[in-house]
């Protein structure tokens, strides 16, 4: 299994750099769709329901204080399998056109973040973990909805 740092390195190898918010959200959506398509996690690190949407703390700790990043020396893009690269490539194709803020806004409308936050006001911090089964169930339902636009 790849690490979240390997996924970040792969995403950045496919771009000219990203805002750290956009990187966080692309990694989140990569995990979500990998759970749907391959029925296993893409990486082990937990995803938390922060104020600005889903965040992986270990990525945040690495990019803290930076607005954007162009490379990720903590990971190795070559550690992803063909299937894992396929998932990330599909996510980049579907979500890559959006800004980090747009992806954050999108995640605020979706079940996994909303459920993990519960009654926590949207402008308050939180470090509650978003359960993988919640992510998988939500995006599986999105994928099976004939009216929904999916990756």
150 lies in a domain?
A: no
pTM over cut 0.85: yes
**Helices 100-107 and 20-38, axial angle in degrees (round to 10):** 50
State the total domains in the chain.
1
What gap in Å lies between CA 116 and CA 114, rounded to an integer? 6
149 lies in a domain?
A: no
58 lies in a domain?
A: yes
124 lies in a domain?
A: yes
76 lies in a domain?
A: yes
pLDDT of residue 42: 98
pLDDT of residue 51: 94
Cβ–Cβ < 8 Å for 24, 60: yes
Measuring CA to CA, how many Å separate 34 from each of 62, 66, 70, 71, 111?
23, 27, 24, 23, 17
- Domain interval for residue 96: 4-144
Is the confidence at residue 148, as pLDDT, over 70?
Answer: no
Average pLDDT of the chain, as a whole number: 94
């Amino acid at each position: 299994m790849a690490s979240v740092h390997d996924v970040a390195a792969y995403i950045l190898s496919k771009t000219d750099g990203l805002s750290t918010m956009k990187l966080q959200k692309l990694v989140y959506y990569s995990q979500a769709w990998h759970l749907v398509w391959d029925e296993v996690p893409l990486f082990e690190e937990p995803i938390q329901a922060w104020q600005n949407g889903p965040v992986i703390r270990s990525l945040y700790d690495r990019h803290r204080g930076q607005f954007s990043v162009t490379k990720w020396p903590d990971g190795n893009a070559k550690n992803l399998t063909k299937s894992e690269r396929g998932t990330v490539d599909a996510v980049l194709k579907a979500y890559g056109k959006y800004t980090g803020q747009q992806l954050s806004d999108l995640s605020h409308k979706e079940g996994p973040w909303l459920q993990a936050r519960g009654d926590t006001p949207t402008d308050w911090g939180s470090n509650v973990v978003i359960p993988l089964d919640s992510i998988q169930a939500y995006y599986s339902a999105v994928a099976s909805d004939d009216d929904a636009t999916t990756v």
